[in-house]
Structures are given as structure tokens and as C-alpha cells.
């Protein structure tokens, strides 16, 4: 009887928790589709930037943002503050640990990522997690910090590690180098012919200011896109995790129901056998008394 009571409690608990998980999954799905619809398309800006990079000639020009150095590397980690995303955050942190050689500087976006990094002895700078609205101001603060720290020679090559959104059911940890970024300027010439000199584009106020302005704008453009990708990957991963939990709850519910009804039938069968045995004993007892009476 004790086991039957325990199974009944398990079934009640599964029914309640299953309802909660089902609601959370529905909310997460709605939020994913809302964000996907609200996602801003900046492809036009990217096309304009590529056109500018095509005409700016950095041949023979030195700028820290364009050149490799011996300074410590920096890793920018984009983690999530949403619940049920331990796997995603751990994957991001593990990808950083794989690249960590003991001298890197970490920039961690998200409280959960900071919590994991705090368990190590790695140096880091913390930034708030991505808001549900994906505000441009968030990107601006991170980009400004990276540019200023890079120019102040606090670190050199900088890479960003984030959850790349592939589809509703798929995301993958991606690493992408953002600085230095000489690869953005395909037009690199040292000597020019007379005809090329006549067609040369005049750049004002100066090449240094133009490079810093273009790289800063490009970095914000890239980070803004990465923020959106990360946010979509977060909600998609949350939905898949909740759906997996709901499947497991249903599996356990089926298992407990089978055990409950099997035990219920065993108890009923036992009670029936005991009743029949009692009746047979009573009938046999009555037969013996009748024989004695004769």
C-alpha cells in the first residue's frame, strides 16, 4: 500500500510539473518567433561598409588595429543569463578554455558566464548579459571597450566566441577573429602608376581617422549581428531543452502509470484470492460441523 501511495504522488507531481514545463516551452517558442520577426536586417549597412573598404588603400600605412602584435590575446565570450541553458554556457566556456594558454584576457558577457569563469584563475572583464530587446547601446559599450583596450595595448589579437544560430533545432559554438582586421581592406598597393595616381580617391581628414572610424563601425555592425544570433540561439536552445524535459516527463509518467495499475491489479488480485480462500475455508468448516452433527 505504501508503494501505491508513492506512485500516486509521483503521478500527481509529473502531471503538475509537466503542465508547467509545457507552458514554459510555449512561452519560449513565442519569444523566439517574436525575436526572429523583430530582428533587424543590417545587410545594406554591411554592403556599404564593404564598398568603403574597397576604396581605402592602406598600403604602406601602419595602424595598430590592422597589424598583429606580441601582446596577450583577448577572448570575448557571449553567454546567456536565461534559465535551462547550462549546456550552452558550458560549451562557450569550454571553447575559451581550449584556447586559453595562461596569458589571455577574457571579456565575458553575461552573469552565468562570469559565474563559471570565477571558478578559474583567469583574468576577465564582465559585461551585462544581452537584453531581450537587443539594444544597440549594449553593443556600443562593448565595442568601445574593445577598441580602447586594443589601442591602449592591453591586449592584441581579439576573438569572439558565441553560440552561432543555425536553425531552430541547431546551434554551434563559433570563434571569430575581430581584431586586428587588415583583411577588411583588400586594396593594398605600394607603388602606383601615373594613371592610378590621377584616379586616386582623396581621403579626409586623414587615413588614421578614417581607418579607426570604419573599423569601429564595422565592429559594432558585427557585434550587433552576433548579439542577435546569440539571442536567437539562446531561445531556440531553451525551447529544445524544455521539449526534451517534457518528453522525459511523459516517459516517466507512462512508466509510473504502468507500475501503478500493475500494482493496483496485484493488490486487487490478492484481495480476491484472500476472499475466495476465506469463503472456501468457511464452507469447509461448515461441512465438517455438519458431518459431526450427523
Vertex 175, ends 121 and 114: CA angle to 5°? Answer: 35
Residue the block writes with cell 480476491 = 272
User: Would 30 be classed as within a structural domain?
Assistant: no
76 lies in the same domain as 149: yes
Boundaries of domain holding 283 = 2-21+245-293
234 lies in the same domain as 176: yes
**What's the DSSP call for residue 73?**
P
User: Would 32 be classed as within a structural domain?
Assistant: no
Burial (CB count <10 Å: 0-12, 13-18, 19+), residue 294: exposed
189 lies in the same domain as 227: yes
161 lies in the same domain as 71: yes
Task: Evaluate the omega torsion of the peptide bond into residue 205 and state whether it is cis, within 30 degrees of 0.
Answer: yes
Predicted local distance difference test score (pLDDT) of residue 47 = 92
200 lies in the same domain as 94: yes
Confidence of residue 159 (pLDDT cuts 50, 70, 90): very high
76 lies in the same domain as 107: yes
Q: How far apart are CA 6 and CA 87, in angstroms?
A: 32
Predicted local distance difference test score (pLDDT) of residue 194 = 44
Q: Which CATH number goes with the domain that contains 161?
A: 3.40.1380.10
pLDDT averaged over the chain? 87
Using one digit for the tens of pLDDT, what is the confidence trace for 63-116? Answer: 999 999 999 999 999 999 988 888 999 999 999 999 998 889 999 999 999 999
Amino acid at each position: 500500500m505504501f508503494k501505491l501511495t508513492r506512485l500516486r504522488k509521483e503521478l500527481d507531481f509529473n502531471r503538475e510539473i509537466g503542465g508547467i514545463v509545457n507552458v514554459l516551452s510555449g512561452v519560449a517558442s513565442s519569444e523566439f518567433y517574436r525575436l526572429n520577426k523583430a530582428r533587424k536586417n543590417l545587410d545594406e549597412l554591411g554592403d556599404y561598409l564593404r564598398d568603403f573598404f574597397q576604396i581605402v588603400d592602406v598600403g604602406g600605412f601602419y595602424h595598430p588595429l590592422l597589424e598583429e602584435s606580441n601582446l596577450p590575446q583577448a577572448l570575448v565570450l557571449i553567454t546567456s543569463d536565461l534559465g535551462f541553458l547550462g549546456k550552452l554556457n558550458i560549451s562557450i566556456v569550454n571553447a575559451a578554455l581550449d584556447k586559453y594558454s595562461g596569458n589571455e584576457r577574457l571579456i565575458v558577457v553575461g552573469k552565468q558566464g562570469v559565474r563559471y569563469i570565477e571558478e578559474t584563475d583567469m583574468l576577465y572583464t564582465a559585461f551585462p548579459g544581452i537584453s531581450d530587446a537587443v539594444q544597440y547601446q549594449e553593443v556600443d559599450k562593448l565595442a568601445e571597450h574593445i577598441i580602447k583596450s586594443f589601442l591602449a595595448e592591453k591586449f592584441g589579437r581579439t576573438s569572439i566566441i558565441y553560440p552561432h544560430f543555425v536553425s531552430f533545432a541547431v546551434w554551434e559554438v563559433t570563434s571569430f577573429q575581430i581584431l586586428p582586421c587588415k583583411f577588411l581592406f583588400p586594396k593594398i598597393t605600394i607603388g602606383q602608376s601615373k594613371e592610378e595616381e590621377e584616379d586616386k580617391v582623396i581621403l579626409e581628414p586623414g587615413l588614421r581617422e578614417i581607418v579607426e572610424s570604419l573599423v569601429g563601425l564595422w565592429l559594432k555592425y558585427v557585434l550587433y549581428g552576433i548579439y542577435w544570433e546569440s539571442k536567437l540561439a539562446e531561445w531556440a536552445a531553451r525551447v529544445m531543452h524544455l521539449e526534451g524535459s517534457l518528453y522525459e516527463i511523459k516517459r516517466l509518467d507512462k512508466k509510473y502509470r504502468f507500475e501503478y495499475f500493475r500494482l493496483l491489479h496485484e493488490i486487487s488480485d490478492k484481495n480476491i484470492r484472500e476472499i475466495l480462500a476465506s469463503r472456501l475455508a468457511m464452507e469447509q468448516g461448515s461441512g465438517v460441523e455438519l458431518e459431526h452433527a450427523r
